Structure formats: structure tokens, C-alpha cells
């Protein structure tokens, strides 16, 4: 069982959706948590649930803001390291999707999707890597099965996640000599605020395991890649999809 006692884990987009599962997983493993989100109330709610897992109040830092803002990105890294003294794991989870045909998407929607889904992980990683080099830590990016298989109605989202997967592999090669690992977890449909439950029954019916994924399923995969159990794993895209890609319809 992975143990993160004393390790510092920064999770973006931790106030909603998949981001709610990862903090609880790491809290149960004894990690010190730095959590970002846009909704203060929801973020504090997640922090409270982490405390209920048994970690001390002083082992959680919550930071509310917009990661597309350069000042907030810089503050996020600086405050995390100032509070805990180091950084061991960066989980780039924050994401955005605008459902609809690509040709109907506005330039603003395109920019917002690419900014949050790709540009933010890129720039936040730049800020985090000097600290991760000191701890020989790692980065886990949350991508998507839709970055692996083309899907209608969410075309630009698919593109943004495909780009993030490629960035994962390129960065893994660049940072391997410095003993910093970089991997992705690519889930299939997980009913969250970002996607809702529309089409969930149909999606579950064609999934080989007969159900949709949960935030906890994704968190377990993230926890594995971030742990010492995966110390020889880098540049990998872990499809946590219940076998969906094998039976794509």
C-alpha cells in the first residue's frame, strides 16, 4: 500500500469532479495537501473531508483562484513550498469542456479550453519542476480517453487532451535524467459536473466492466503513478477506462 506520509501533493481543480477524489485518496495515505479551485465553499468542503480522514489541520493548504492567471500560478507554487518546505507531486487535474460541434465553437471557447486544459499544466509544470528536481518527485496529468479516440461534439476538448498526453511523454523524456517522472491518467466517462450524467446509462452499457468510472477509480490510478510503486514508470498514459477503448462503439 502506497504511503505518502510527509510528502507534499499539489492538486489543481480540487473543488469539483475528479479533483474531489484525489485529495481524499492522498489524505488517507498521510500526504500534506495543497489544493486549488475556483469555488471557495466547495474547496473548503473538500478540505474538511480530508481532515476527517485523520490528517492534521496544518497539513492542508487551500488556494482559491484562476490558474489561467499567471500571478495565481506563481502564488500557488510559492505558497505551497513556503508552507510545507518542498513539493513531491503535482497533479494537473483542472479542466474544461464546451460540448458542441467544433465548427460551432467560438474563438473564446477554443481559447478557454486550450488555456486551462493544456497551457496551465505546461506553465504550472515549469514553475513546479525546480522543486520536484530537489525531491525527485513526479507529475501526474489528468487527460482523457477522448484524447486517444476521436469523439463528436467535444472535438476541441479531444484535441486539448491529446496535446496534453503528448506533452506528458515529451516532458518525461526531458526530465528523466533529473529523476523526475511524468505520467498521465486517461479516464473514460466519469459522471461529474464537467460532463454530468447525460448518456451515462448508454455509456455504462457498452463498457466491458458494465459500469462508469468514479472519482475514486481515477484517484487510485493517480496514487499508483505518484507512488514509489511506480518508480520505474514514466512517460506512460494509463487508460483507466474499464476496457472501454477495447470495445469502442
Catalytic residues: 157
Nearest Cα to 129, choosing from 59, 170, 182, 165? 182
Give the distance, in angstroms, between the CA of residue 27 and the centroid of all CA atoms in the same chain. 16
- Let me know: does 249 contact 206? Beta carbons within 8 Å: yes
* 43-50 long-range contacts, CB within 8 A, separation 24+: 43/14, 43/15, 45/15, 46/14, 46/15, 46/19, 46/20, 47/23, 49/23, 49/24, 50/23, 50/24
Residues forming a β-bridge with 36: 63
Instruction: Give start and end residues of each alpha helix (H) in 7-154.
Output: 18-28, 40-51, 70-84, 107-114, 120-135
Report CA-CA distances (Å) from 186 to 52, 53, 71, 145, 239.
Answer: 29, 26, 29, 5, 5
Which H/E stretch holds residue 208?
none
Amino acid at each position: 500500500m502506497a504511503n505518502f506520509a510527509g510528502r507534499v501533493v499539489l492538486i489543481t481543480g480540487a473543488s469539483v469532479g475528479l479533483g474531489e477524489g484525489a485529495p481524499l485518496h492522498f489524505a488517507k495515505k498521510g500526504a500534506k495537501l495543497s489544493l486549488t479551485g475556483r469555488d471557495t465553499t466547495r474547496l473548503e468542503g473538500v478540505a474538511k473531508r480530508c481532515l476527517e480522514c485523520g490528517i492534521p489541520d496544518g497539513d492542508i493548504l487551500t488556494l482559491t483562484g484562476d490558474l489561467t492567471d499567471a500571478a495565481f500560478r506563481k502564488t500557488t507554487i510559492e505558497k505551497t513550498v513556503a508552507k510545507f518546505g518542498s513539493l513531491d507531486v503535482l497533479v494537473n487535474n483542472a479542466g474544461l469542456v464546451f460540448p458542441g460541434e467544433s465548427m460551432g465553437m467560438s474563438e473564446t471557447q477554443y481559447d478557454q479550453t486550450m488555456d486551462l486544459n493544456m497551457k496551465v499544466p505546461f506553465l504550472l509544470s515549469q514553475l513546479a519542476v525546480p522543486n520536484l528536481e530537489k525531491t525527485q518527485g513526479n507529475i501526474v496529468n489528468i487527460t482523457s480517453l477522448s484524447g486517444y479516440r476521436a469523439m463528436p461534439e467535444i472535438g476541441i476538448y479531444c484535441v486539448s487532451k491529446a496535446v496534453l498526453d503528448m506533452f506528458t511523454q515529451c516532458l518525461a523524456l526531458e526530465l528523466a535524467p533529473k529523476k523526475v517522472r511524468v505520467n498521465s491518467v486517461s479516464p473514460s466517462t466519469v459522471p461529474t459536473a464537467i460532463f454530468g450524467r447525460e448518456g451515462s446509462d448508454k455509456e455504462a452499457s457498452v463498457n466491458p466492466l458494465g459500469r462508469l468510472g468514479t472519482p475514486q477509480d481515477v484517484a487510485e490510478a493517480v496514487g499508483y503513478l505518484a507512488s514509489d510503486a511506480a518508480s520505474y514508470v514514466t512517460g506512460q498514459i494509463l487508460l483507466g477506462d474499464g476496457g472501454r477503448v477495447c470495445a469502442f462503439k
